[in-house]
A and B are shown apart, each in its own frame.
Chain A
Amino acid sequence: ELKVEQNPLFLSMQEGKNYTIYCNYSTTSDRLYWYRQDPGKSLESLFVLLSNGAVKQEGRLMASLDTKARLSTLHITAAVHDLSATYFCLPSGAGSYQLTFGKGTKLSVIP
């Protein structure tokens, strides 16, 4: 059974600061997705990481994947209020659609 641990679950950070969200998973997965969810809304795709060592960046967000360590990170640089949302990771692949989301990280960026 795939287990996905995401931490922290809650993150309150000041504008302009940097922080990293971690996603650990228990079984082999060859790709990982990051999503953003705003209150009352569905999921918005942020990144798909397709291989070990993959790094993707979009604006103030950068995601990386280490399949050997079964770890993905979502790094936030110089946070702004618009980044306030809940972020979910979803490991997937390895021959099956293992669809277990992390519990989510609720990010609040305060002035």
Chain B
Amino acid sequence: GAVVSQHPSWVICKSGTSVKIECRSLDFQATTMFWYRQFPKQSLMLMATSNEGSKATYEQGVEKDKFLINHASLTLSTLTVTSAHPEDSSFYICSGLTGGVYYGYTFGSGTRLTVV
């Protein structure tokens, strides 16, 4: 079945630095990728939707200049957290849209970001 490979699984960075998270779709072309953030003991919150070759659409309240999304190919989407702060510490999960009429969502394994 469809697989989304997400890296890194976890990362610790210093405040003020940037971190890039990659999601690769294996065995399918993810024309659309969704990025979520999940704080401890909470549900997933959609941050943005990216379509290959076009600018991402951000949800209300998500800073587009802070969370840079690039979806330059059909198999790779990246999220860069710029000038990270401790409050950005969270679990980030990507999800690729699969299928046509019977579409579904294939989730990456998630990235635990800790900003110190």
Chain A interface residues (CB < 8 Å from chain B): 33, 35, 40-43, 45, 48, 50, 88, 90, 92, 97, 99-104
The DSSP consensus for interface residues of chain B is strand
Query: Which chain B residues numbered 72 to 97 have a C-beta less than 8 Å away from chain A?
Result: 93, 97
* A103 and B104 contact, CB distance less than 8 A: no
- The docked-state distance in angstroms from the alpha carbon of A35 to that of B95 is 13
- The docked-state distance in angstroms from the alpha carbon of A104 to that of B44 is 9
Given contacts A42-B93, A43-B107, A48-B104, contact A104 B112 (CB under 8 A): no
Given contacts A97-B97, A99-B34, contact A41 B110 (CB under 8 A): yes
Total residues of chain B contacting the partner, CB 8 A: 19
Tell which of A43, A90, A92, A103 has the most Cβ of chain B within 10 Å: A43
Known: A33-B105, A97-B49, A104-B42. 16 other contacts (CB 8 A): A33-B104, A35-B107, A40-B112, A43-B44, A43-B93, A43-B107, A45-B107, A48-B104, A88-B43, A88-B44, A92-B105, A97-B32, A97-B34, A99-B34, A100-B46, A101-B44
